[in-house]
Amino acid sequence: MSVPETAMVLAAGLGTRMRPLTNNKPKALVCVNGRALIDHVFDRLAQAGVQRAVVNVHAFADLLEQHLRARRDIEIVISDERARLMETGGGVKRARKLLGEAPIIVCNIDSVWDEPHGSAIARLASGFDPARMDARLMLAAIGECLGFDGAGDFFMNASGALAHRGDHARADWAYMGVQIVNPRIVDGEPDEPFSFMRVWRRLQSEGRLFGAPLDGFWMHVGDPEALAQAEARLTAPSP
């Protein structure tokens, strides 16, 4: 399918692992290579053709809203979570009325990635088949990332269907913070904070959870050490 018109950008986190850099600003405004993390995400969304982004806000919400007013290449709508932080799945549930009924892109704000093969978001969307899928997750190969200290999240078969790592010691693929979903997958969830993992497990049991390789290098900028590593990679001279 074509790239969705609307995205949801999850920017309401507390950024506790990024302290002290988040003592006076939201994690979304921490800069890497001279640009705020959230602007790296918006750059990729706009490049792919997304026209509108719903952004949830919580910590230092006023600062983030002020920053967002400077963007002119993408329409921005705020989903206010000042009163209660809703986590990833709960954030989409809270913003549901703003998202419409067509598939949407959902992005975290602590992911930066390179794109040696063109827009990864456009490729993610092009392989999304709403008849068979309710979510298609962009995945980084474990050996092609920095700032991720886990043992992998998913196994992916030849058709792209996903199975969570579960009790296995290791899996080949890590979720890198971008997915295309049918927004109706949260409609049956209660209005409470919850992780997207709850939804993914249900979709996996229904055979409607799929993945796609990033085919690039992923930088998970989740703490000051990972920030320094990402800066070094992004500013290194080209070979």
| Separation CA 56–CA 226 (nearest Å) | 24
pLDDT attached to residue 233: 93
Buried b (16+ CB within 10 A) or exposed e, 8-44: bbbbbbebeebeeebeebbbbbbebeeebbbbbbbeb
| Burial status of residue 66 (CB atoms within 10 A of its CB: 0-12, 13-18, 19 or more) | exposed
Closest CA to 37 of 224, 198, 239: 224
Please identify which residue in the block is written with the tokens 């049918």.
Answer: 182
For 60, which DSSP code?
Answer: B
Tens of pLDDT, residue by residue over 12-35, are: 988 999 999 999 999 999 999 999
Predicted confidence (pLDDT) at residue 60 exceeds the cutoff of 70: yes
- Domain edges within the chain: 6-235
Q: Please, are residues 45 and 75 in contact by the beta-carbon 8 Å criterion?
A: no
* Domain covering 6-235: architecture: Alpha-Beta Complex (3.90)
pLDDT-derived band at 237 (thresholds 50, 70, 90) equals confident
- Residue 32 tokens read as 């890497």
